Amino acid sequence: MTDLCVRMCEMVRKIIISVAALLLSFSALAQSERLYLDTDFNFDFDNTEYSGSTIGIAETLFGVSLAPVLRYEWNEKHSLGVGVNAQKMFGSVRFLDDIDLVAYYQFKSEKYGALAGLFRREKMLGRYSEAFFSNAWLANNRLVQGLALQYHDKVGFAELAVDWNGMYSMERREQFRILFSGEGRFAKVMYAGASAEMQHYANRADFSHNVVDNIVVNPYIGVDFKAFFDFDIRLGYLQTLQRDRLVASDWQLPLGAELFFRMSRWGVFISNNLYVGDDLLPLYNSVGKEGTPYGADLYASDPFYSTENGIYNRTGIGYERKFLEDRISVKAEMVFKTDGSGLYTQQIVALGVNLSPRLYDKNKRREKAQYNNGQ
């Protein structure tokens, strides 16, 4: 605990020095400057009751994350952020279970945007099925480490990103994801788009010839409209291309389709996601040269997409809403899942708080704290 406190104090000192240097460096060039303290707080409870399942694991994830970031903005389009992302799991004997650096540059105009560095995943625009990322994986992996290029207008968006989440070393495999997501609206209530992932799961410093490739493509079409209730209905196709070069040079091509439905009003919702198709995680239990199954290190998706019965259905009933100009978000959901062989349940409770008090404004000099979303 003493070592952790020393690390934290040293990190805070470096943050203060970095921000001071940035202020001095850019003040002569910037027409307008502002300094914010972006603060993201997340409370997450995720209890899975999967006893008897050969796919899911019965466990409870319960904890909080806090990400204070000093963000320096100049000329209204450029920002530099420096801070930390800390996570604490309830019941853990450690003071903090994880602490990571947040450091990024962001460009943001009316239509175009770019991010480079280590930044919170909430800054991404993309729409991804749980066949890409499960809610539990996202709660434990809140940072993107890499680059994102973005475009958005009144009718749609497009985003290309690289997330480098494994450095070649004796402890970790080299690993990165290239992500794409794009969507456009037409005929007032309809939309169409596609998401894609190319994951490269490579070698560690103490072995070679154990590269795994995992490509997922998900084109979809949907409709959303209001008729007393808010409706969102989406049909998508999932095609994967996977290869474990340790055992074969041939590609495996599992595929499937999913139909998503959501109906909501006043924050109360009922949703259903039906997947029909192949096991999309065929290498989940394969053992690599480190002697352990690839498992969740290779697949960030919900493990129920590995159904052996050709079907997976998820039904959720709950409440989800944002308050105070989207600064506070709450969610409570009861989930029922089946893979064709049994019925399993899951309970989810989440609270998010996002505040950005303005600490300094060049044109107005020192500001009183003004809270906004400032993203």
Distance CA 242, CA 212 (A): 7
* Tally of CB atoms within 10 A around 64: 14
Which two tokens mark 242? Answer: 């996977």
Distance separating alpha carbons of residues 256 and 183, to the nearest angstrom: 20
pTM: 0.86
Catalogue the long-range contacts made by 67-70 (C-beta closer than 8 Å, 24 or more residues apart).
67/38, 67/39, 67/40, 67/41, 67/102, 67/120, 67/142, 68/37, 68/38, 68/39, 69/37, 69/38, 69/39, 69/40, 69/102, 70/15, 70/19, 70/35, 70/36, 70/37, 70/38
pLDDT of residue 375: 45
pLDDT tens per residue across span 243-265: 999 987 789 999 999 999 999 99
Looking at the domain assignment, is residue 372 inside a domain? no
Domain-embedded: residue 150 = yes
Buried b / exposed e over 306-327, threshold 16 CB at 10 Å, is bbeeebbbbbbebebeeeeeee
Let me know if residue 175 belongs to a domain. Answer: yes
Quote the number of domains for the chain: 1
CA separation for the pair 23, 73 (Å, rounded): 10
Residue 23 forms part of a structural domain: no
CA distance 260 to 71: 37
Best CA proximity match to 256, nearest among 242, 239, 243, 271: 239
Q: How far apart are CA 218 and CA 177, in angstroms?
A: 15
What is d(CA 356, CA 37) in angstroms, rounded to the nearest whole number?
5
Instruction: Give the CA-trace dihedral at 55, 65, 86, 175, to 10 degrees.
Output: 30
Given phi > 0 = left and psi -120 to 50 = alpha, else beta, which region is 70?
beta
CA atoms within 13 A on the CB side of 153: 3
Burial class (CB in 10 A: 0-12, 13-18, 19+), 121: middle
> Whose CA is closest to 274, among 294, 298, 258, 256?
258
CATH number of the domain that residue 252 is part of: 2.40.160.40
Q: Looking at the domain assignment, is residue 129 inside a domain?
A: yes
Instruction: Classify residue 280: in a domain, yes or no.
Output: yes
Let me know if residue 269 belongs to a domain: yes
Q: How deeply is 305 buried, as exposed, middle or buried, from its count of CB atoms within 10 A (0-12, 13-18, 19+)?
A: buried
Judged on CB neighbours under 10 Å (0-12, 13-18, 19+), 23 is: middle
Longest dimension (CA), the chain: 66
End-to-end CA distance of the chain: 34
* Residues of the domain holding 202: 31-366
pLDDT in tens, the chain (375 residues): 556 556 656 655 665 665 555 555 555 555 688 999 999 999 999 999 998 888 888 889 999 999 999 999 998 899 999 999 999 999 999 999 999 999 999 999 999 999 999 999 999 999 999 999 999 899 889 999 999 999 999 999 999 999 999 999 998 999 999 999 999 999 999 999 999 999 999 999 999 999 999 999 999 999 999 999 999 999 999 999 999 999 877 899 999 999 999 999 999 999 999 999 999 999 999 999 989 999 989 999 999 999 999 999 999 999 999 999 889 999 999 999 999 889 999 999 999 999 999 998 887 765 555 555 544
Residue 8 confidence (pLDDT): 57
What's phi and psi for 229, nearest 5 deg? -95, 160
Distance CA 256, CA 236 (A): 9
Bridge partners for 89 per DSSP: 63
Query: What is the C-alpha separation between 346 and 317, in angstroms, rounded?
Result: 11
**Residue 221 falls inside a structural domain:** yes
